[in-house]
């Protein structure tokens, strides 16, 4: 009998070690590791699923060019750039991973935190839904062992939280919100606890109490688009528009954070990391558009997350009061600064440098002031709509 037991144990160990040899287990590393749906690429990069935290355990099942295919659950995979992974000799695999107890707490009257205990830092997908407003999370490679969810009175924005085991190894988390507007969230791990920090709405909607970040697109060696007749550089004019907006917002009493105030090259991911540290209430990125068709002209605003659409709609509406063609409001925009979930953000493509009529406007300092006034008016409208 003893012999049989030994053989059984030996066989079991073999299976585990075969699994370890067949697949590689790595951890995420670097600046904003990103999971992608596919290998499609354009000037904005492949379609992003979302950025994930560092030191997340990933199971590599295949490799294509610069990417690993990672197994999220039995039925789901994602692409992850190899350069965003590292070896970890301390990884100790478990036959299964569980969620533990949760808590939902409010902090310092400014945010709520949903904390989900986990056995390991595992991959996740997080997104916004509207009408009714929710934050949705999928935790991959995990089974629910959550037997209670403690919710405290200090919570202001989170209305309710619950989970569904939607696949054998996928736990879906629903965070219902109280307000009509998404004010942003920050997701990641604190040790092995998955946390979602959910912003409360501002307590005071006066512009004097707002911290607003402005991003002048491009800079330094990244010159951006070029003017069709004058060959002016996008980086120089985004800075002029950004400074005009800064001047106006400061005059109105807002606190302004600039991603750059001079002709410096800043990586877009560094802009995101800087802004995540600063935690402004709103973020506006300014660019100038370009098309291979010179007749294309007009203004457009962009958002990625549907919960932030209202800000981009308010700004576009006001911008259209200027004598500009409507190029449109663009959603699911796959641009790095728009991927921020932490606070409402909007990218404004003021006009087309590739269109002679738009270019003439872009050159005019009076137009810079007018654009600043319209962006400000759009921000004011947005705040007014969502004031409690």
Token duo for residue 156: 């202001």
* 155 vs 348, beta carbon nearer Zn ion: 348
Q: Which residues are registered as beta bridge partners of 226?
A: 233
Token duo for residue 155: 């919570």
Token duo for residue 245: 């907006």
Of 217, 205, 308, give the one whose Cα is nearest residue 259.
217
> Over the range 311-332, which residues count as b (16 or more CB within 10 Å of their CB) and which as e?
bbbbbbbbbeeeebbebebbee
Please give the torsion angle defined by the CA atoms of residues 261, 262, 267 and 269, in that order, rounded to the nearest 10 degrees.
Answer: 0
* 224 vs 378, beta carbon nearer Zn ion: 224
Q: Which residues contact 113 (CB under 8 A, 6 or more apart)?
A: 103, 104, 105, 106, 107, 195, 196, 197, 198
* 161 vs 272, beta carbon nearer Zn ion: 272
Token duo for residue 142: 């995990």
- Shortest Å, Cβ 214 to Zn ion: 14
* 217 vs 307, beta carbon nearer Zn ion: 217
- Shortest Å, Cβ 280 to Zn ion: 21
- Shortest Å, Cβ 334 to Zn ion: 14
Measured distance CA(164)–CA(149) in Å, rounded: 13
* 201 vs 217, beta carbon nearer Zn ion: 217
- Shortest Å, Cβ 246 to Zn ion: 18
Measured distance CA(99)–CA(140) in Å, rounded: 11
- Shortest Å, Cβ 49 to Zn ion: 24
Token duo for residue 338: 């728009």
- Shortest Å, Cβ 286 to Zn ion: 9
- Shortest Å, Cβ 247 to Zn ion: 21
Of 246, 121, 269, give the one whose Cα is nearest residue 195.
121
* 151 vs 289, beta carbon nearer Zn ion: 289
Token duo for residue 387: 């004031």
* 196 vs 216, beta carbon nearer Zn ion: 216
* 224 vs 307, beta carbon nearer Zn ion: 224
**300 and 328 in contact (C-beta within 8 Å)?**
yes
Residue nearest to Zn ion (CB): 287
Token duo for residue 377: 């008016």
DSSP secondary structure code for residue 365 in this structure: H
- Shortest Å, Cβ 235 to Zn ion: 8
Residues that bind Zn ion (CB under 5 A): 217, 224, 287
Residue 117 burial (CB count, 10 A): 16
């Amino acid at each position: 009998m003893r012999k049989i037991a030994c053989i059984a144990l030996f066989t079991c160990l073999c299976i585990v070690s075969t699994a370890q040899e067949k697949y590689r287990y790595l951890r995420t590393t670097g600046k904003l590791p990103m999971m992608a749906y596919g290998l499609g690429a354009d000037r904005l990069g492949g379609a992003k699923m979302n950025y994930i935290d560092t030191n997340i355990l990933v199971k590599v099942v295949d490799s294509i060019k610069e990417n690993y295919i990672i197994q999220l659950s039995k039925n789901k995979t994602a692409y992850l750039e190899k350069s965003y992974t590292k070896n970890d000799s301390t990884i100790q695999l478990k036959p299964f991973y569980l969620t533990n107890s949760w808590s939902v707490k409010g902090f310092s009257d400014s945010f709520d935190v949903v904390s989900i205990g986990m056995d390991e830092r595992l991959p996740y997908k997080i997104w916004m839904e509207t009408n009714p407003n929710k934050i949705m999370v999928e935790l991959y490679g995990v089974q629910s062992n959550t037997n209670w969810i403690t919710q405290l009175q200090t919570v202001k924005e989170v209305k309710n939280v619950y989970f569904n085991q939607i696949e054998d190894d996928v736990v879906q988390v629903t965070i219902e919100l109280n307000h009509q507007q998404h004010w942003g969230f920050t997701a990641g791990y604190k040790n092995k606890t998955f946390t979602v920090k959910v912003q409360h709405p501002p307590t005071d909607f006066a512009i004097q109490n707002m911290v607003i970040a402005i991003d002048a697109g491009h800079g330094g060696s990244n010159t951006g688009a070029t003017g069709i007749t004058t060959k002016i550089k996008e980086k120089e004019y985004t800075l002029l528009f950004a400074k005009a907006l800064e001047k106006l917002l400061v005059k109105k009493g807002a606190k302004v954070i600039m991603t750059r105030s001079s002709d410096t090259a800043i990586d877009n991911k560094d802009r995101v990391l800087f802004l995540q540290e600063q935690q402004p209430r709103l973020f506006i990125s300014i660019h100038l558009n370009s098309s291979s068709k010179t007749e294309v002209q007009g203004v457009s605003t962009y958002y990625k997350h549907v919960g932030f659409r209202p800000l981009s709609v308010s700004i576009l509406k006001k911008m259209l009061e200027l004598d500009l063609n409507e190029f449109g409001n663009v959603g699911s925009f796959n641009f790095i600064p728009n991927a921020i979930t932490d606070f409402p953000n909007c990218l404004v493509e003021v006009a087309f440098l590739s269109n002679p009529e738009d270019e003439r406007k872009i050159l005019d300092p009076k137009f810079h002031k007018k654009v600043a006034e319209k962006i400000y008016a759009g921000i004011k409208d947005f705040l007014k709509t969502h004031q409690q």
